[in-house]
Structure 1
């Protein structure tokens, strides 16, 4: 089969996308309909103009024909996708002063959700909107106190008795959430409601569709679509009102779409590697979707990224990494490994190599959230030059000044390479991506990069003496690592045994009672 034919998307609406590359950066002063208060907030963030993806999305969501279609954005990491949806949503919500949950942004990880919330926090208060989070950073009780407004019974006690029966209600306009904690609130939090939801953003769409996360997506769609149906079937609804509701349904953008709620739930989905799988896309129940993409390419690397491959001896691979980091002389780097275990072992081994001329830290789900937050803060502030992590921990992460990405373990897929490389060369800055390869991996790596139309991966070499100088301490470090791994295994085994023993005692006691 011809290669070009293989790439034709199955979904017709994906075949004629809006090309983001045709848009230029635009100064805020020339952005049509921008609320003056938001312009001031953006300038406080040192933003004087919008990037092409932000201009393209703004054009489709603000002004005549605003949000007539659901928006799908396939754009490289670092191109500015977060602000591309945050800005138009905040502007759209600013026109109605009703305190209820009207916009929901769902992201796969806590760290990424907190990063996105920072963007909303910087602009939403300027127009009187409140932003909340449901990510599990604090206890669910603390989240509830932030998200839910309860009636003041002391005030209402002097009023009509009906007011005493007021239900708790959501006290934020915009919620940034992870799927698991979102479902906790849907299932357990009294007063948490999606009945007024107008905007649903699914960021990092590929990952959120790939992993079920307690069926959060069908639950959200069902809850937002059921409100009007319940109203229509309710026996006590005034027939005159029903007639006016049906008339409204037949007006505007919903004409001809029987059974859809009005105003409809607008969806925005975003990814650097947007899936073309119809079975996955269908889960989103999109309304006349419009695809915005870069150069009609499914896989797109940052424009100012330079790629390098470094062929190394398998047994000495950690030393190649150290020598490369020494050569980079303190520039901010993220080192990617293939697993949490690999991240932990590599970080431990580097510690056993003694004093190194760079500060580094592990960043993985083995650590508590408070530890990860401190590590990321130190990395952002430049107190750490090197972060050793997995794909899951850093997907979507935006840290200013990352000059280099190093693939310690070769990425298994082109999507993985794009998401890793996208941590650098962001927002118009240049960056480099180095991949350490064993000889047998070179051919597969080159073939993978062709899918991203990247044929310019340069071979990088290190001075032989930079490796040799590390050999005397390497054997000792490997021995220490072996002892450390064995010690950890014994400790985990002991903890597991005690836990199982304790559970057995509890079960026995329960039977006796």
Structure 2
């Protein structure tokens, strides 16, 4: 559907055209008219589906710009997502000259207070903890808020922010419009809808819209202690441009990023324990291309929108399928092809099948590269790097020294030494210790329907089934093993 059919005014349509949107995504198509009409909305949407514009465009249209007050509040689970949301809404609101401010923990609160006091924003975006700090200090006046957005609500619940959210909502007027967006729809999300919303309209995106056909999805079946070596071999063979590696825990991220650096890769990690300044520096390097590999937890990478990511490696398979969809959504953007590789231990194959059922797409098994293939990949990358060095080198400056080298050594020896110094061949054999994670619990196989129906699912019913089978076995044992022949009458 075209944005012209959604009820947006001319300034918002100009913003849409300026930002390059052509047609509305399903979540935008269904949500924008509802928000403009004043209805509360619960939307199921993954990152990368355009949900920020889905609530940002109608939010910007409904604000009274003659009033210098906070009229809309957006709550985000992480600092990165809050910053990204603020930036996107600010870009969309340029025609309206909207003031959009973001507040989050780890940043200078005095500077935030000064901005809130001297330049009150129309829209305030923030993380739960920092918003509560401003409420307690009476530095954020929420009395004029008429629109409230809970973004990535399932993530906020998983992070234990429910009490904080409730305390924030108590400081927002009851007469308001509330919008809630979540990647999944568990009962806890629907309970929030019942508690804080007025007859919300539920908007769901079909499962087939959760993944993109632009991402080639592979899996590698490998033991946990072999994962790291196999991953580095794949990195050598595939030579990705920008890569994100997902680990399940903070310790895993630290060990993986350190191990990759030891092996000669340009890598760094981000997770919740790092300061905001450290995370911002790493992300800045990754965005401008001075960092090749970003290692991250699901929470730290939530909402990241970095163009040019060609590969995603799931070092640990996620426990819930929705996280997998979020992970691979970091690549295959803007019409470009992406590749995802998931490492699966033998006892985690059940999780792989559940993910495939959700995404409606089978992953392709990948054979781990051999050491010989990895070495060939290293040499190919080294030749490319040397070619770039030659193009950037002022040869006349080094002619005299180069002639001396050629008198003492052959050109072949010099070339081999250069390849050795540029490639990661020496570092590739360096041992790296990755602490084994506790394996994911095995998924219980469902009992057949016929047995459930016949005996029930309670412990007493199951006991009845086992006794029946035991009696049947005993009865079979009692039967004679030979036949008694009748005597003939002759």
1:339 aligned onto 2:249: yes
1:53 aligned onto 2:27: yes
TM-score (norm 1): 0.69
8 Å Cα contact 2:77/2:155 also seen in 1: yes
SS state of the match for residue 224, structure 1? coil
Change in 2 beyond 3 A, CA 1:279/1:75: closer
Kindly report which structure 2 residues correspond to 1:85-484, keeping only aligned pairs within 5 A, or say none: 85-93=55-63, 95-149=64-118, 171-190=120-139, 192-213=140-161, 215-225=163-173, 261=174, 264-277=175-188, 280-282=191-193, 284-295=195-206, 297=207, 300-353=210-263, 355-356=264-265, 359-426=266-333, 429-442=336-349, 444-466=350-372, 469=375, 473=427, 476-478=430-432
8 Å Cα contact 2:237/2:373 also seen in 1: no
Q: CA deviation at 1:124?
A: 2.1
SS state of the match for residue 68, structure 2? coil
CA–CA distance in 1 between the matches of 2:427 and 2:166?
Answer: 55
CA–CA distance in 2 between the matches of 1:380 and 1:72?
Answer: 32
CA–CA distance in 2 between the matches of 1:77 and 1:429?
Answer: 17
CA–CA distance in 2 between the matches of 1:183 and 1:298?
Answer: 38
Change in 2 beyond 3 A, CA 1:180/1:40: same
Change in 2 beyond 3 A, CA 1:455/1:279: closer
8 Å Cα contact 2:103/2:112 also seen in 1: yes
- The one-character-per-residue Cα deviations of 1:131-152 (angstroms, maximum 9, x if unpaired) are 1111135311110100124xxx
- The one-character-per-residue Cα deviations of 1:241-287 (angstroms, maximum 9, x if unpaired) are xxxxxxxxxxxxxxxxxxxx5xx311111122232446743575221
Q: CA deviation at 1:429?
A: 4.7
Structure 1: 4+ residue segments shifted above 6 A: none
CA–CA distance in 1 between the matches of 2:78 and 2:144?
Answer: 25
Whose radius of gyration is greater, 1 or 2? 2
Which one is further off, 312-321 or 195-204? 312-321
- The one-character-per-residue Cα deviations of 1:6-57 (angstroms, maximum 9, x if unpaired) are xxxxxxxxxxxxxxxxxx4x2x5x3454333333333333334432322222
CA–CA distance in 2 between the matches of 1:279 and 1:59?
Answer: 22
CA-atom RMSD in angstroms: 2.7
Q: Which has the higher contact order (CA 8 A, sep 6+)?
A: 1
8 Å Cα contact 2:244/2:295 also seen in 1: yes
Q: How many residues align?
A: 387
Q: CA deviation at 1:455?
A: 4.4
CA–CA distance in 2 between the matches of 1:391 and 1:278?
Answer: 20
The one of 14, 17, 25 aligned to 1:43 = 17
- The one-character-per-residue Cα deviations of 1:463-513 (angstroms, maximum 9, x if unpaired) are 32357759975664337x89xxxxxxxxxxxxxxxxxxxxxxxxxxxxxxx
CA–CA distance in 2 between the matches of 1:214 and 1:71?
Answer: 19
Residue 48 of structure 2 is matched in structure 1 by 78
In structure 1, stretches of 5+ residues that fail to align are: 1-23, 150-169, 226-260, 483-513
SS state of the match for residue 235, structure 2? helix
Residue 161 of structure 1 is matched in structure 2 by none
Change in 2 beyond 3 A, CA 1:148/1:447: same
Which one is further off, 100-109 or 316-325? 316-325
SS state of the match for residue 127, structure 1? coil
SS state of the match for residue 209, structure 1? helix
Residue 7 of structure 1 is matched in structure 2 by none
